[in-house]
């Protein structure tokens, strides 16, 4: 019995349907050192691979027009997610398409991996045009009006080292109440969140988050099985905003990993950079991601430090002493922080 089915049975967590599936890459494996098998929503494809020190050259099979972009993007994604040394992916046998990146030379295309991971299409089904910038005042904070809340799956990514698909979807007060209630009463979660209580309390929390324009509440899933609760917020109108020089499009986040079997390095190296990736893709004007872990939570701060966050300062909320941490867009993409550190 697999880990996923074990958790589904023992924790009474069921796989949920994920309308709006976004990722091109469904699975992949190196069949030989020079042959990559890719599965997309349209089928399976064999791609020839020639690896070099800091680049990879691939040759696509003969494809029709509708297959070119998913297969091309899937090859770049899988190969560049294997090593931080890969700066360039060169693709041969590329037919003209609407793929927006790279430089053509005849029927070959060279793509910078830093550019590729800032193109939202492989991971976000319907990437929005940035919301028009019109400022408003909320609780003394002057900030841009925020867009309407997303529904359904907002981000999806195949994780090669787990051979599972990670997704984040908008939380639903009805569908997600049972596991949210159980997670908030988990001993390890409650120590940090201090939100243990009955179902009515947790239903009210989800409803409040649903109607708060500056917070997007998300449920994280591996292969469709919910494992944790995430809040993505606009920092300027958040409680954190007054404690530092918040910029208009800074984003912050909170996390509760509710399923104990999904705690640990192999999982955090999947969901943490993917959550950061989503926040940078959701609005290209976001240049900084911030967090405010408890200053005493040494393990979390070490995880963030290894994930590219800088420790900015200690400060005091009314309810806790916190550490302000910050991740810069430039560092995330230039240092290829979506790839696990050795």
Q: What residues are labeled active site? A: 292
How many helices (H) and strands (E) are present in the chain, helices listed first? 9, 17
CA angle 336, 340, 342 (to 5 degrees): 105
End-to-end Cα spacing for the chain: 30
Token pair 């007060």 is found at 173
Coil, helix or strand at residue 204: helix
By DSSP bridging, strand 288-291 and strand 251-257 are: parallel
- Give Cα separations from 263 to 49, 163, 228 (angstroms): 34, 17, 10
Q: Which two tokens stand for residue 303?
A: 């995880």
Q: Which two tokens stand for residue 3?
A: 């880990």
CA distance linking residue 62 with residue 68, whole number of Å: 9
CA distance linking residue 153 with residue 219, whole number of Å: 9
* Structure-derived torsion over alpha carbons of residues 177, 181, 183, 187, reported in degrees to the nearest 10: 180
Contact in structure between 218 and 5 (CB atoms under 8 Å): no
E-only strand ranges, 10-152:
25-32, 35-40, 43-51, 55-59, 88-92, 103-105, 108-112, 135-138, 141-144
DSSP state of 211: H
Contact in structure between 95 and 46 (CB atoms under 8 Å): no
């Amino acid at each position: 019995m697999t880990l996923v089915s074990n958790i589904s049975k023992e924790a009474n967590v069921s796989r949920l349907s994920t309308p709006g599936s976004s990722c091109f890459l469904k699975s992949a494996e190196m069949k030989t050192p020079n042959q990559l098998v890719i599965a997309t929503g349209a089928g399976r494809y064999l791609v020839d691979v020639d690896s070099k020190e800091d680049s990879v050259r691939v040759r696509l099979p003969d494809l029709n027009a509708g297959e070119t972009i998913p297969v091309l993007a899937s090859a770049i994604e899988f190969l560049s997610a294997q090593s931080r040394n890969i700066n360039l992916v060169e693709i041969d046998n590329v037919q003209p398409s609407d793929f927006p990146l790279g430089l053509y030379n005849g029927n070959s295309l060279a793509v910078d991996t830093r550019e590729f991971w800032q193109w939202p299409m492989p991971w976000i089904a319907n990437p929005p045009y940035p919301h028009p910038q019109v400022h408003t005042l909320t609780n003394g904070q002057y900030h841009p009006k925020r867009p309407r809340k997303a529904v359904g799956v907002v981000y999806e990514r195949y994780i090669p080292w787990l051979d599972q698909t990670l997704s984040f979807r908008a939380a639903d007060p009805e569908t997600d109440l049972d596991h949210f209630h159980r997670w908030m009463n988990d001993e390890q979660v409650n120590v940090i969140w201090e939100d243990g209580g009955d179902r009515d309390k947790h239903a009210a929390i989800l409803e409040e988050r649903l109607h708060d324009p500056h917070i997007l509440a998300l449920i994280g899933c591996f292969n469709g099985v919910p494992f944790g609760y995430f809040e993505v917020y606009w920092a300027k109108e958040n409680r954190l905003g007054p404690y530092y020089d918040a910029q208009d499009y800074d984003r912050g986040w909170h996390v509760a990993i509710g399923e104990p079997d999904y705690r640990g390095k192999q999982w955090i190296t999947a969901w943490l950079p993917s959550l950061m990736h989503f926040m940078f893709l959701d609005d290209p004007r976001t240049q900084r991601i911030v967090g405010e872990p408890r200053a005493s939570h040494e393990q979390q701060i070490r995880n963030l430090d290894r994930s590219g966050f800088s420790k900015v300062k200690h400060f005091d909320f009314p309810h806790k002493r916190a550490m302000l941490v910050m991740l810069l867009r430039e560092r995330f993409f230039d240092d290829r922080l979506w790839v696990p550190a050795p």
